[in-house]
């Protein structure tokens, strides 16, 4: 059964994690889904979780699900905030969306300790510095 469901890999999309300064002056981090395509994407589902080793023990975070009704072409949508405590874990994002009646699917993994300033680059569309996987 599961072998029968094999959606094509999503292309022209990215995930990014960027520093975010809040209105009260405190800082945090935001995770974005980025549509690098001309077409609007509908029914975007993003599942997130973290996993790895912390203090010598296997750790797995809760899985969160986020639904984005529509993401316009060449646009970014905030998905969730992320805390620095989980940067030492692998942070995984499964993205699924519909386009032209076809479902597309892709996994993005920010490996442990990759989210640091030395790995920053300019994120297109957002015009901010951060870490992006496309």
The tens digit of pLDDT for each residue in 62-100 reads 999 999 999 999 999 999 999 999 999 999 999 999 888
Structural domain includes residue 131: no
Residue 35 lies inside a defined structural domain of this protein: yes
| Confidence at residue 26, expressed as pLDDT on a 0 to 100 scale | 79
Considering the domain boundaries, does residue 70 fall inside one?
A: yes
Asked if residue 23 belongs to a domain, the reply is: yes
CB count in 10 Å sphere of residue 60: 10
Mean pLDDT over 15-38 rounds to 92
Residue 52, domain extent: 2-124
**Pairwise pLDDT comparison (134 vs 98), residue with the higher score:** 134
What pLDDT band is residue 3 in, cutting at 50, 70 and 90? Answer: low
Nearest Cα neighbor of 65 from 32, 94, 35 is: 94
List the CATH number of the domain containing 16. 2.60.40
The reply to whether 132 falls in a domain is no
In a domain, 115, yes or no: yes
What is the pTM (predicted TM-score) of this model? 0.91
Q: Please give the span between the terminal C-alpha atoms of the chain, in angstroms, as a whole number.
A: 30
Query: Is residue 129 assigned to a domain?
Result: no
Domain count of the chain? 1
Q: How confident is the model at residue 5 (pLDDT cuts 50, 70, 90)?
A: low
Q: Does a structural domain hold residue 92?
A: yes
Closest to 16 in 3D by CA, of 1, 31, 38: 31
The token duo for 78 is: 């905030």
């Amino acid at each position: 059964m599961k072998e029968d469901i094999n959606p094509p890999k999503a292309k022209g999309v990215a995930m990014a994690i960027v520093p975010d300064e809040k209105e009260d002056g405190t800082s945090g981090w935001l995770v974005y889904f980025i549509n690098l395509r001309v077409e609007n994407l509908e029914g975007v589902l993003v599942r997130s979780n973290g996993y790895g080793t912390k203090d010598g023990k296997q750790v797995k975070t809760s899985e969160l699900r986020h639904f984005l009704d529509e993401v316009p072409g060449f646009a970014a949508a905030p998905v969730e905030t992320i805390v620095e405590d989980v940067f030492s874990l692998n942070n995984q994002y499964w993205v699924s969306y519909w386009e032209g009646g076809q479902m597309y699917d892709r996994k993005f993994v920010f490996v442990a300790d990759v989210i640091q300033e030395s790995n920053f680059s300019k994120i297109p569309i957002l015009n901010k510095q951060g870490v992006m996987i496309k």
